[in-house]
Amino acid sequence: MLNRLNLMAGIAALFALVPGPSLAQSIDEGFYYKLSTQFRGDGMKLDVFNGGPKNNRTRLEPDQDVSGQFWRLVGNGDGTYRLSTLFRGQNLCLDIFNGGPNNNEPHLTRCGKYTGQFWTLKEDGDAIRLMTTFRGPRMCLDIFNGGPSNNQPHLARCGNYTGQLWTFTRTDKRVENDRYASPPLTSVATAQEWPPKQIRLTEQHIRAFLARPRA
């Protein structure tokens, strides 16, 4: 009996030494995610303002089947991620305002090599903290509570606040090629890379140019 107990204890210790999947391994870049906080609960998801003075800024909204709540994560190769939405497409990434009245608030802007778009996902128990390379590991994405910016996120000093504890819920929606994304400016676009509507407009412009009277 004693030998059996020792064997079971040894097996348990062995399993304890086997590392579980890391956060980087558990993020499936082939699917969209929904983001919520412990503070507001699973029924409020991160969404995007559409138009108006807060266009392309973000806020927590009731969970709905809308494209602004579907977030794509793409690894940068250094352990950080870029975040974009199904709504605005893969060419607009979540960045941070630097200065001004919206300082430290996130917004979608043209993707580029900016450290404000490099997001670190740090596990904290069952939740995740979000930080940027730009502001560093002491500034965590939090939620305004009340006032004109109620439910909008902002980077704040990391602390024991439920507004800084995020949940990433993988959806069943797969990431597909963004058919309305422009090809990179550094490459030569093929017909397959451009949407049919853009091809038709380009052909019209070429015909109009060729039809101009020559001097």
The residue count for the chain:
215
SS3 letters for 159-199?
CCCHHHCEEEEEEEEECCCCCCCCCCCCCCCCHHHCCHHHH
The residue whose two tokens read 């504890």 is 165
Query: For 149-163, what is the mean pLDDT?
Result: 98
pLDDT of residue 64: 98
Query: For 130-143, what is the mean pLDDT?
Result: 98
pLDDT of residue 212: 54
Instruction: Calculate the dihedral angle through the C-alpha atoms of 174, 180, 186, 192, rounding to the nearest 10 degrees.
Output: 90
- Is pTM, for the whole model, over 0.85? no
Q: Is the pLDDT of residue 189 over 90?
A: no
Query: For 195-209, what is the mean pLDDT?
Result: 46
For residue 112 the two structure tokens come to: 């580029």
Q: What is the pLDDT of residues 96-108, one digit of tens each?
A: 999 999 999 999 9
DSSP per residue, 42-77: TTEEEEE--SSTTTTBEEEEE--S-GGG-EEEEE-S
pLDDT of residue 87: 98
| Structural fold of domain 20-180 | Trefoil (Acidic Fibroblast Growth Factor, subunit A) (2.80.10)
Q: What is the pLDDT of residues 157-176, one digit of tens each?
A: 999 999 999 999 999 999 98
Q: Is the pLDDT of residue 109 over 90?
A: yes
pLDDT of residue 23: 65
Distance CA 65, CA 176 (A): 17
pLDDT of residue 57: 98
Q: What is the pLDDT of residues 20-70, one digit of tens each?
A: 445 655 899 999 999 999 999 999 999 999 999 999 999 999 999 999 999
Q: Is the pLDDT of residue 111 over 70?
A: yes
pLDDT of residue 91: 97
pLDDT of residue 15: 39
Average pLDDT over the chain, rounded to whole? 82
pLDDT of residue 35: 98
What percent of the chain is modeled with pLDDT above 90?
Answer: 69
